[in-house]
Chains A and B, each alone.
Chain A
Amino acid sequence: MSELEQAHVSPQLKWSDYVFICLLCINLIGVILLGRNIYIQGDKLEQARKNAELVVAWADGVDEDMDAGKPISPPKCTPATDKDLKTAKFQLNTWGECITSLFGLKGKFPEITNTFMKDGLIYAKKCDREHLESKGALVFERLQTGPTGSPVVSELKDTDVLLSGMEFRINLCDRGFRLIKIGEAKL
Chain B
Amino acid sequence: MSSAPLSDGQKHRSIRRLVYDLLFNKDNPDGYSSVFEKTIIIIILVNVAALLAETIPIIYDSRERQFHWFDVVSVAIFTVEYLLRLYVAPEDPDFNQDKLPRLRFIRSPFAIIDLVAILPFYLAALFNLDLRALRVLRLLRLFKLLRAVYPAMVEFRERNRDKTLRQKVYAIVNETPDSGKLHEIFDFIIVLWVLISVTCVILESVESINYYFHVEFIVIDTIAVAIFSTEFLMRIYSCTENPKYQHWLAGRINFSRQFSSLIDILAIAPFFLESLLDHLFDLRFLRVFRLMRLFKLGRYSAATKSLFYVIQREWPVMKASIFIMLMLVMLAACLGYLFEHEAQPDKFENIPQSIYWAVITLASVGYGDISPVTPAGRAITIVLALLGIGIFAIPAAILSSAFSDQLRIERETMKQELYEMLGDGKISPEERIIIDAEAKRLHLSKAEVDRLLEKAKIELGLIAHPDAIGHTHQELHHTYGHHESHRPAMDLNYLSKHPEAAGEQFKILLAQLQQLAHSVDHERLNQYLSDKKHATDFQMETWEYIAKQTKKEP
Residues of A within 8 A of B (CB): 7-8, 10-11, 13-14, 16-17, 20, 23-24, 27-28, 31-32, 34-35, 37-39, 42-43, 45-46, 49, 129, 135, 175-178
Q: Enumerate chain B residues within 8 angstroms of A176, measured Cβ to Cβ.
A: 278-279, 282-284
B contact set with A: CB distance below 8 Å: 161-166, 169, 211, 214-215, 218-219, 221-222, 225-226, 229-230, 233-234, 237, 248, 271-272, 275-276, 278-279, 282-284
* Interface SS of chain B: helix
* With known contacts A20-B237, A31-B226, A10–B283 Cβ distance under 8 A: no
Partner of B233, one of A27, A43, A49: A27
Q: List 11 A-B contacts (CB under 8 A).
A: A8-B161, A11-B162, A11-B163, A11-B164, A13-B165, A14-B165, A20-B166, A24-B233, A27-B230, A35-B219, A176-B282
Is B278 within 8 A of A175, CB to CB? yes
Cβ-defined partner of A28 (8 Å) among B161, B226, B278:
B226
The answer to whether B161 and A34 have CB atoms under 8 Å apart is: no
Whether A34 lies near B215 (C-beta < 8 A) is: no
Question: A38 touching B284 by the CB < 8 A rule?
Answer: no
Residues from chain A with a CB closer than 8 A to the CB of B230 are 24, 27-28
**Is the pair A8, B233 in contact by a Cβ cutoff of 8 Å?**
no
CB of B214 within 8 A of CB of A34, answer no
Inter-subunit contact B275/A39 (CB<8 Å): no
Known: A10-B163, A20-B233, A39-B222. A34 touches B272 (CB 8 A): yes
With A27-B229, A43-B215: A38-B283 Cβ-Cβ less than 8 Å: no
Please, how many angstroms separate the alpha-carbon atoms of A71 and B165 in the complex? 76
Q: Are A42 and B222 in contact (CB under 8 A)?
A: no
Q: Which 5 A-B pairs have the closest CB atoms?
A: A35-B222, A34-B275, A17-B165, A31-B226, A20-B237
The answer to whether B166 and A39 touch across the interface, beta carbons within 8 angstroms, is no
Interface pair A14/B164, CB less than 8 Å apart: yes
Distance in angstroms between the alpha carbons of A177 and B284 in the assembled complex = 11
Docked Cα-Cα span, A43 to B218, in Å, equals 10
- Check A45 against B214 for contact (C-beta < 8 Å): yes
Q: How far is the CA of A26 from the CA of B276 in the complex (A)?
A: 16
Q: Are B275 and A32 in contact (CB under 8 A)?
A: no
Q: Is the CB of A8 within 8 A of B222?
A: no
Specify which of B166, B278, B279 is in contact with A17 (CB 8 Å cutoff). Answer: B166
On whether the beta carbons of B225 and A38 are closer than 8 Å, the reply is no
Residues of A with C-beta under 8 A to B276: 34
CB of A67 to closest CB in B, whole Å: 28
Whether B272 and A38, one on each chain, are in contact in the complex, defined by CB atoms closer than 8 angstroms, is: no
- For A135, what are the chain B residues with a Cβ–Cβ distance below 8 Å? 279
**Whole-angstrom CA separation of A146 from B120 in the bound complex:** 63
What residues on B are CB-neighbors of A42 within 8 Å? 214-215, 218
Cβ contact within 8 Å between B219 and A32: no
Nearest residue, chain B, Cβ from A43: B215
> Closest CB-CB distance, B173 to chain A, in whole Å?
13
Interfacial chain B residues near A8, Cβ < 8 Å: 161-162
Contact B284 A178 (CB under 8 A): yes
Q: Give the interface centre of B230, B234, B275, B283 by most chain A CB atoms within 10 Å.
A: B275
- Cβ-defined contact, B219 with A39, below 8 A: yes
Chain A residues whose CB sits within 8 angstroms of the CB of B219 once the complex forms: 35, 39
CB atoms of B226 and A32 under 8 A apart: yes
Asked if A38 and B233 make an inter-chain contact with CB atoms under 8 angstroms apart, the answer reads: no
Q: Is the CB of B282 within 8 A of A38?
A: no
- Evaluate contact between B162 and A10: CB separation under 8 angstroms: yes
Question: In the docked arrangement, what's the CA distance between A8 and B219, Å?
Answer: 42
Report the separation of the CA atoms of residues A43 and B282 in the bound assembly, to the nearest whole angstrom: 20
With a cutoff of 8 Å between Cβ atoms, the chain B residues found around residue A17 in the complex are 164-166
B residues near A46, Cβ cutoff 8 Å: 214-215
Taking A17-B164, A39-B218 as known contacts, 18 extra A-B pairs with beta carbons closer than 8 A to each other, sorted by chain A number, are A10-B162, A10-B164, A16-B237, A16-B248, A24-B233, A27-B229, A28-B226, A31-B226, A32-B222, A34-B272, A35-B219, A37-B275, A38-B218, A43-B215, A46-B214, A129-B279, A177-B279, A178-B284
Instruction: List residues of chain A with CB within 8 A of the CB of B165.
Output: 13-14, 17, 20
Task: Report how far A20 CA is from B284 CA in the complex, Å.
Answer: 32
Assess the A10–B161 pair: CB atoms within 8 A. Answer: yes
Closest to B222 in A: A35
The answer to whether B218 and A35 touch across the interface, beta carbons within 8 angstroms, is yes
